[in-house]
Amino acid sequence: MRFLTAVAALALALPATAQDASFDPARLSQHIRILSADDYQGRGIATPAEDRVIGYMSGAMAAAGLEPGGENGSWTQAVTLNRFTASNVQASLSVGDWTLPLVQGEQAVISTRRPGTDHVMLTDAPLVFVGYGIRAPERNWDDFKGQDLSGKILVVLVNDADFEEPALDTFGGRAMTYYGRWTYKYEEAARQGAAGVIIVHEDAPASYGWTTVRNSWSGPQFDIVRSNPDERIPVESWIQRDVAVELFRRAGLDFDALKVQARSRDFQPVALTGAELDVMFDVASQQIVTHNIIGRLPGMTRPDETILFTGHWDHIGVGTPDAEGDAIFNGAVDNASGIAGLLELARIAAAAPRTERSLVFIGFTAEESGLLGSEYYAANPLYPLETTVGGFNMDSANVYGRTRHLGVIGYGQSADFDARLEAAAAAQGRTIEPDQSTQAGFYFRSDHFPLAKRGVPMVYADSSGPFVDEPIAARTAARDEYTARRYHQANDEWSGDWDYRGQIQDLEVYWSIARDLANSGDWPTWSETSEFAAARAASASARD
């Protein structure tokens, strides 16, 4: 009944005809407004809001003319996750007679994703500073130097060594590598046998402020189901920089001086002599099922060859109230805007002549929990990755107007796709702009990445550079203000005065390239220097 109601409501509100084949700003606005409304409760996964999202998205896809693309003729793919909720968190740092209580969300954020855990208690756990916490044999880099770190708390820096000093070029300059991501820090600590990790948060190398840390990691945490609990550490945590500076000072160390030392391959782990962490908290864990939402337009002659359009439907849900008392993280830009684009692409594609290859539209779940929905799909694809031609990922669209450039995150990874993007953008009078914030590691922070690392060529591109239309200063200020004050905040809300012309230009680029590929026998490739080229080459025989 819910599904039929969603379809009927959408059909009445947004009538679609084969003649109506241009991207519609009113439709984009309505999709964003509905999906980010308070009654969707921030689109938290495995909550009643998820059913609403499934009903709305599947209704829109059906109204457009797509068929269900999920499991067993449904609109969804079930994604089983473990959910961990930490409560009654009590923690403190101490050095000798000095003790600093750590208030959850203020000085620190503490959680766990270790399976089979209902209570965490560490007493007098010793602390060791391990620089950036990286072991990269191919770069002749090892921050651990073979030391036994079992049972210890590793204190690590955000990003990788080149962020502070790009001229070192040990990690490719200022562009963040996967080694700089928080996900990697926790994974490597588990391999080292550590009891926990404290990541020292600094705004610049993280590319976001402390409020983003607090909002993202204070609530329930999710992970894929793991048979080996040792793949996760008991304590995953962050502390603010000023806490770290004082901690190091009390231990007779200079935090900033050690940061400089950590940029060298010769860096050795440094014990914070006398420093200890006491932490205990309860953990409520349960296995939950959330869903990827999938629609499909089967190809006419080569239906087993697939082109993807992707974006994540989830957001943070309901969290800690902000200064205005708002606890609903509506996620209008991140990522109701991307889902709006996905649904508009589905409508345009379904109204166009059917392509030779299949088109698949996926709303991924659990992106905000560490790209878990896309990771699950990439590990359990409903359409073989070997014959997935490529795809286009949409995360946080431009809602501020037309721009001079099309920004390509991961420019250079696929010269093939870069050339196609350049030609499509040039037809609009725009030029390509390589990612201008490579230090933020955006290439590793959205749903194209689990597919890319398995060899599927993926495009992650959107509006970039100066705005074209006046008032330019106001548009620039609005874009900057979102990054500084709305990203992962409760005030990421829909606005009736947004300008969708820039997003529509981006959608036109995606569609023109996808349509051409879907009616060709071309297989986009990775550049020879891409770390993903080998994974694609391993399945070359499937595309002969």
83-285 adopts what CATH topology?
Glucose Oxidase; domain 1 (3.50.30)
Q: For residues 103 and 109, give the distance between their C-alpha atoms in angstroms, rounded to a whole number.
A: 8
User: Which three-class secondary structure state does DSSP give residue 281?
Assistant: strand
DSSP letters along 347-379, please?
Answer: HHHHHSPPPSEEEEEEEES-STTTSHHHHHHHH
pLDDT per residue as tens digits for the range 26-80: 999 999 999 999 999 999 999 999 999 999 999 999 999 999 999 999 999 999 9
Torsion-angle region of residue 429: left (phi > 0), alpha (psi -120 to 50) or beta? left
H/E element, 537: helix 533-537
pTM of the model: 0.81
Beta-strand pair 196-201/153-157: parallel
Ranges of CATH 3.40.630.10 domains, the chain: 2-65+298-534
Count of positions (residues) in the chain: 544
CA atoms within 13 A on the CB side of 324: 6
Strands 67-68 and 76-95: unpaired
Those residues with Cβ within 8 angstroms of residue 463's Cβ, 6 or more apart along the chain or in another chain: 397, 398, 402, 403, 405, 406, 407, 502, 503, 505, 506
Query: According to the model, what pLDDT value does residue 7 have?
Result: 43
Position 20 scores a pLDDT of 47
pLDDT in the model for residue 217: 85
Cα–Cα distance measured from residue 420 to residue 204, given in angstroms and rounded to the nearest whole number: 33
User: Does the pLDDT of residue 149 top 50, yes or no?
Assistant: yes
What's the CATH number of domain 2-65+298-534, 3.40.630.10, 1.25.40.340, 3.90.170.10, 3.10.180.10? 3.40.630.10
Please report where in the chains the tokens 């490739």 appear, as a residue. 525
Q: How far is CA 28 from CA 283, 401, 406, in A?
A: 40, 13, 20
Instruction: Quote the tokens at residue 404.
Output: 């001079």
pLDDT for the residue numbered 319: 87
The pair of structure tokens assigned to 372 is: 């878990």
159 vs 474: CA distance, rounded Å: 32
d(CA 389, CA 458): 9
Distance (Å) of CA 213 to CA 111, 135, 143, 207: 12, 24, 25, 11
Provide CATH 3.50.30.30 ranges for the chain: 83-285
How far is Cα 364 from Cα 375, in angstroms, rounded to an integer? 9
pLDDT exceeds cutoff 50 at 9: no
Structure tokens at 417: 């796709």
CA–CA separation, 335 vs 45, rounded Å? 14
**pLDDT, the chain, mean:** 93
Q: For residue range 448-497, what is the model confidence (pLDDT) as tens digits?
A: 999 999 999 999 999 999 999 999 999 999 999 999 999 999 999 999 99
> Which stretches does DSSP call E strand in 163-263?
196-201, 221-224, 235-240
